Structure 1
Amino acid sequence: MALIQCDFYSEVLGLSMSMNVILPQAAPSQIGMASHAGQQKHKTLFLLHGLSDDHTIWLRRTSIERYVAELGIAVVMPAVHRSFYTDMVLGGNYWTFISEELPAIARSFFPLSDRREDNFVAGLSMGGYGAFKLALNKPESFAAAASLSGALHLRDLSERWPFEYNLIFGSTNQLNELPNCLFLAAEQLAASGKPIPKLYQCCGTEDFLYEHNAQFLEHALKLRLPLTYEEGPGEHEWGYWDKQIQRVLAWLPLK
């Protein structure tokens, strides 16, 4: 595998930004690694971080590089600070950045496929929200999305931490609008007739976001979305996410 850290300028944000990228490499003699790289443009997983982390966290807390080596896919891990992947009221346009600018920049740097069936998104906590936000609002861009312990019900969280959420969303009213409300985005997509990305959702039963995940699960089932759901013992911590990201990789429709 090739691991590359990229610093680049975002026209949307007017800032220098960073992302880590894992690229497939055919290196059968590499000790302890099974590696694979195809001849075509790479299938890509956009892997999103949580509220307290950055673009380096998946590499530091999990073995994601080793997990994807034999799959022959690229992994793009961007930084979005504490933005909730949103065009902030008092801050940058991170939704526009993550949904439009970042994929274009990554594909200009590396041989990444732009076909819907070759693109996937996953994330944890705030990144789980970002992953479902992308999939439900941009279904033409992603074949599958996975939320690990996702912050899927932001209205409740905004009432617990109003100051930070007001900096991002301005008021809780925006949490009831597209693209920010996942419940509304799911309803709109289910009624649209558009192809719906495959969805994977998991949460530990001891996680403080468990009830929020249960509420989204109930909503998704009513809408008959193609959702795979898993739960089990676990808290909001990296031991759980390191295990679950392996299950996500096995679930992805790569063939």
Structure 2
Amino acid sequence: MAFIDCHFYSESLGVSASMNVILPQVATTQIGLASHAFGGKHPTLFLLHGLSDDHTIWMRRTSIERYASALGIAVVMPAVNRSFYADMASGPKYWQFISEELPALARSFFPLAEERELNYVAGLSMGGYGALKMALSHPNQYAAAASLSGAVDIVGRATAFPNDFQLIFGDAATIKDSPNDLFYLADQLVASNQVRPQLYQCCGTEDFLYEDNIRFRDYCHAQGLQITYDEEPATHEWGYWDRKIQTVLDWLPLPTKA
């Protein structure tokens, strides 16, 4: 794999932004690393970070480069600070950045596929929320989305982060039944005639977000929205996410290797 620490200017944010990118490379003499690459532009996973993290965290806490290398998939890991992947009421337009500007810029910099069936999004905690938000809001752009220990019910998280939520959403009471509410987005997708992305959700049974995840899973099923769900005894920690990102990569509907 090639690893790029990429810094660039964002029109949406009005400042320089950052992302880590790993790109497939077939290397026949490299020791200890399986490699693969598809012909043409690369299938791409947009991999999102959590509330206290940044664009470097997946590379620092997991072996994502090693896992992706064998599959021939590019991975784009952007930084969005503590934004909950939203256009902030008192701050930059992070939703515009992550949902519109970043994919276009990444494809202009690197040989990344544009086709829906070759694009996927995943994340942990706040990033799990962001991944589902991206796929439910833009089902025509992503074939699959995965949430690992996701903050899937942010209506219920407002009291946990009152200062953040005031800056991000203004009045937290406006989140429910808005485009920032995953339950609302699930309703909108079910009611539409749009193609539905494959969805994956996992959470540890000892995680403080476990009940929220069960509630979202059950709501999706009740609305007729299929979602693959997985749980095991675990807390909100990187050992679990390192294991589960491997599950996610195996689950992704990647093209058949040539």
TM-score normalised by L of structure 2: 0.97
CA RMSD of aligned residues (A): 0.8
The residue number in structure 1 matching 2:35 is 35
Matched, 1:62 2:40: no
In 2, Cα distance between equivalents of 1:127 and 1:141: 18
Amino acid at match of 2:233: P
Provide Cα deviations, 1:177-235, integer angstroms capped at 9, x if missing partner.
43200000000101101101000000000000001101101110011212100011000
Amino acid at match of 1:237: E
The residue number in structure 1 matching 2:219 is 219
In 2, Cα distance between equivalents of 1:131 and 1:237: 18
In 2, Cα distance between equivalents of 1:10 and 1:234: 37
The residue number in structure 1 matching 2:149 is 149
The residue number in structure 1 matching 2:171 is 171
In 1, Cα distance between equivalents of 2:86 and 2:177: 12
Structure 1 outlier segments of 4+, above 4 Å: none
What is the count of residue pairs matched by the alignment? 255
Alpha-carbon shift at residue 173 of structure 1 (Å): 2.9
Matched, 1:199 2:189: no
Residue 114 of structure 1: SS of its match in structure 2? coil
Amino acid at match of 2:81: H
Q: Which is helix-richer, 1 or 2?
A: 1
CA contact (8 A) 1:132 1:146 kept: yes
Matched, 1:139 2:139: yes
Amino acid at match of 2:115: R
CA contact (8 A) 1:197 1:226 kept: no
In 2, Cα distance between equivalents of 1:100 and 1:173: 26
Alpha-carbon shift at residue 156 of structure 1 (Å): 1.0
The residue number in structure 2 matching 1:86 is 86
Q: Which moved more, 1:27-36 or 1:49-58?
A: 27-36
In 2, Cα distance between equivalents of 1:38 and 1:209: 37
Amino acid at match of 2:55: H
CA contact (8 A) 2:177 2:183 kept: no
The residue number in structure 1 matching 2:253 is 253
The residue number in structure 1 matching 2:244 is 244
Question: Percentage identity across aligned positions?
Answer: 64
Task: Give the gaps of 5 or more residues in structure 2.
Answer: none
Matched, 1:96 2:96: yes
Amino acid at match of 2:158: S
Task: Give the gaps of 5 or more residues in structure 1.
Answer: none
CA contact (8 A) 1:23 1:73 kept: yes
CA contact (8 A) 2:200 2:227 kept: yes
In 2, Cα distance between equivalents of 1:94 and 1:190: 26
Alpha-carbon shift at residue 127 of structure 1 (Å): 0.1
